[in-house]
Structures are given as C-alpha cells and as structure tokens.
Amino acid sequence: MDKWDKRFVQMADTVATWSSCIKGDRHVGAVIVKDKRILTTGYNGASSGILSCVERGECLRVKLNIPSGTRHELCYAVHAEQNAIIQAAKLGISVDGATLYCTHQPCVICAKMIINAGIKRVVYKYGYPDEFSMHLFSQAGVTVEQFNDDEQ
C-alpha cells in the first residue's frame, strides 16, 4: 500500500460521516477510484425519498434484533458500496478496472455488485462477519486488501 491508498481510505472515512445510520459503529463510506481520480462516493443511508433511521428515531434492525451480517434486506439503508456503484451508473461513469476503498469489508451482496461492476481491487479498513464475500472475491480474481494504518 502507498500514500494514495492512505489518502483514499481517509476519504472513505470522511464520506462515512455522512451516513444516516443511527448505529454509529456502522457508519460506512466508500470511494471508487481509477488512475488516482475519484469517480464516485457512497455512504450507507436510506434511498431517496425514504425516511432514514435517524429521521425515524430508531433502527429497524435493532428493533427486530437482527444480528450483524445477516438479513441485509431488512434495513432502510442502501450500503455505501452499492450507493457508490449506483451513483456511477446514474452518472454514466464506468468503474471497470477501478479500485473501491471502503471503511468496512463488503458484505456478500456488495461483493456480487463489485464483481459484476468490473472493480478489480478492494481496500477496506475494518473487518465484517461475512466470509462468503471473501470467497467470492477470491473466485472472481478481485484483489482484496485490509488497510493497516500502522504500515504507513
């Protein structure tokens, strides 16, 4: 990893602060980069026109006692990685061959989208309880690296 990786991980950390998730430990940010240029960003939050958990004053997943890493469909939020890919599609920006920097290891749903979008490298900061996503990345030949600030 190099100074550019550190910069883009820091950018993902900044983007995560925009999250509308009520659970502070789950503020997630993503930045898609190609040739040292930021293509798009994303953070976890409710879809356009849908009230977020912050606006509702409660987290549906907490209310239903859903364990982390399971039942992703039972959440008002769209994941940061998904939002970054959706933003690229909406704006007509190709992410083929890009790197995705994110605060947390992508879940299996995000992994599938990342693979199909043609993103070739993922750099994440914090782990996430989803071993199957890592298996899919490996099968698809996507390079996945955990960022370690101590190495910088």
- Tell me the catalytic residues: 81
Give which of 105, 99, 31 is closest to 68, Cα–Cα. Answer: 105
**DSSP string of 93-141, one letter each residue:** ---TT-EEEEEE---HHHHHHHHHHT--EEEEEE--S-HHHHHHHHHHT
**CA–centroid distance for 117 within its chain:** 14
- In contact, 140 and 122? CB cutoff 8 Å: no
